[in-house]
Amino acid sequence: MSQAGLAARAAGRASRNALTGTRIRERRTVMGIRQTDLARTVEISPSYLNLIEHNRRRIGGKLLVDLAAALGVEVSALTHGAETELLDQLSEAAHDAREVAAELPRAEEFVGRFPGWAQLIAAQHSKIAQLQRQVNAMGDRLTHDPALSNALHEMLSKVTAIQSTAVILAETKDLDRVWQDRFIANLSQDSQDLAARSAALVGYLDASANAELTPATPQEELEAFLARSGFHLAALERGGAVAPFVERTEDAFQSDAARASARDYFARYKSDADALPLEDLKAAIAELGPDPAAVSARFSLDLARVMRRFAALPASPGLPGFGLAICDGSGALTLRKPTEGFAIPRFGSGCPLWPLYRALGQPGRPISDRIGQADAPDRVCRGYAVCAPVLPMVFDGRQPMESTMLVVPHSLMAADARPRDADPEVRAGCLTCGRDPCIARRDLPLLGEVF
């Protein structure tokens, strides 16, 4: 991340920290407790509490816990108010619009004085991000969705036939009656075909008009289901059984194929959860950092399983979850969990230089690299990948292979592990990557030099 970006984030954090004092003051006032009495309860001087309440002293640790207890609220109620999310969004908006020098240190003041304007900016930033995702998805779709590509081709062919025929009828003065009748019949037939194809195309597009990720395949149904819970299945953690969960979630899937995929996924999730409970994983990450190899060694578990467990960690406010991509031996993506700074294409595959695909060629050898998106150059992620057999190994048998890639977003990396170079080695895919020349390019960038 750039120095300016770091400064912006730091300013945003400072604003959020500053709000804690304001919340303490508001809560105390609502409860009708005098400042002197509250100070005595938590064993500090009234003047020090006054400084805290006016956000002129940072607060944390035992004193924060004591104050929360004295005010009868959870600590999080003092540190994460409703406006924290708004400040997060403003910080993000300012960060994304680096050409504008927003006064981030005064964000809290701005939210306090102009809450409506602040919400408007946050809402517009959210809308812009949504539109950007839709542009990426549509570009991806136009290039890789064979149904859409064929439909457009057929419609344009009909339009061409109609246009050519109509021009002949209109401009050929001596056209005899036989040809006239023939071309009019063609025109009628093509017009009807075009109307039918247009209606079909509108229906096809309408199916996804209200959602960015309308499931079209069993895999997408499963991914959409998992996305709703951030790929974290609380019911299967801590000894939860698979069968009742499968039964409860059956209605969430439209196709039997999706239900079958879900059953397999849930069984694997449960097995992973039993092998590496989340609390143990969290503790290991806190100690070792988000390094799947180190965690794998700590628990003597295979790397792919550890990566899947990373991806099952729930996201928390302000912190994105880990991304995950899994592909089979043919390179077909079988699971996609995008994360901040790394969107995984919905159609087609990603960049051949992803560690995920490079690992396919070197089974058993972990590979990592800097990966990211062209439109998020300061949020370079790190991808960790390994390829391993899906089933226990047997002699002389056909063994399907599977490659797994964990994506550690920039904001979850340890500060000293974050890439200094803003430009990732590998990007999400050709369509949004303007790198030229590229030894692995398959498609031209959809938006040219935009990024």
Partner 1 sequence: MHHHVLLIEDEPNIIEAIRFILSRDGWQVSCHSDGATAVDTVARLEPDVVVLDVMLPNRNGFDILRELRAQEATARLPVLMLTAKGQAKDRERAEDLGVSAFMTKPFANAEVIDRLRSLVEA
Contacts with partner 1, residue ranges (CB under 8 A): 143, 149-150, 152-161, 163-165, 167-168, 172, 179, 182-183, 186, 189-190, 443-444
Residue 155 or 235: the one with the smaller Cβ distance to partner 1 is: 155
Smallest separation, CB 159 to partner 1 (Å): 5
Smallest separation, CB 180 to partner 1 (Å): 12
Smallest separation, CB 395 to partner 1 (Å): 41
Residue 424 or 445: the one with the smaller Cβ distance to partner 1 is: 445
Residue 194 or 343: the one with the smaller Cβ distance to partner 1 is: 194
Phi, psi dihedral angles at 255 (to 5 degrees): -115, 155
Smallest separation, CB 156 to partner 1 (Å): 4
Residue 286 or 439: the one with the smaller Cβ distance to partner 1 is: 439
Residue 155 or 242: the one with the smaller Cβ distance to partner 1 is: 155
Residue 186 or 208: the one with the smaller Cβ distance to partner 1 is: 186
Question: Which amino acid would we find at residue 88?
Answer: D
Smallest separation, CB 165 to partner 1 (Å): 5
Residue 130 or 172: the one with the smaller Cβ distance to partner 1 is: 172
- Residues 6 or more apart from 88 whose CB is under 8 A from it? 12, 16, 317, 318
Which among 300, 317, 227, 294 has a CA at the least distance from the CA of 265?
Answer: 227
Tokens of 65: 């816990």
Tokens of 266: 């849930």
Alpha-carbon dihedral 385, 389, 395, 398, rounded to 10 degrees: -120
Degrees (nearest 5) of the Cα angle 135, 139, 142?
A: 135
Residue 38 or 194: the one with the smaller Cβ distance to partner 1 is: 194
Smallest separation, CB 149 to partner 1 (Å): 7
Smallest separation, CB 182 to partner 1 (Å): 8
Residue 421 or 436: the one with the smaller Cβ distance to partner 1 is: 436
263, exposed or middle or buried, with CB in 10 Å at 0-12, 13-18, 19+?
Answer: middle
Smallest separation, CB 187 to partner 1 (Å): 8
> Rounded to whole angstroms, how far apart are CA atoms 414 and 412?
7
Smallest separation, CB 153 to partner 1 (Å): 4
Residue 15 or 165: the one with the smaller Cβ distance to partner 1 is: 165
Smallest separation, CB 175 to partner 1 (Å): 9
Pairing of strands 426-427, 401-408: unpaired
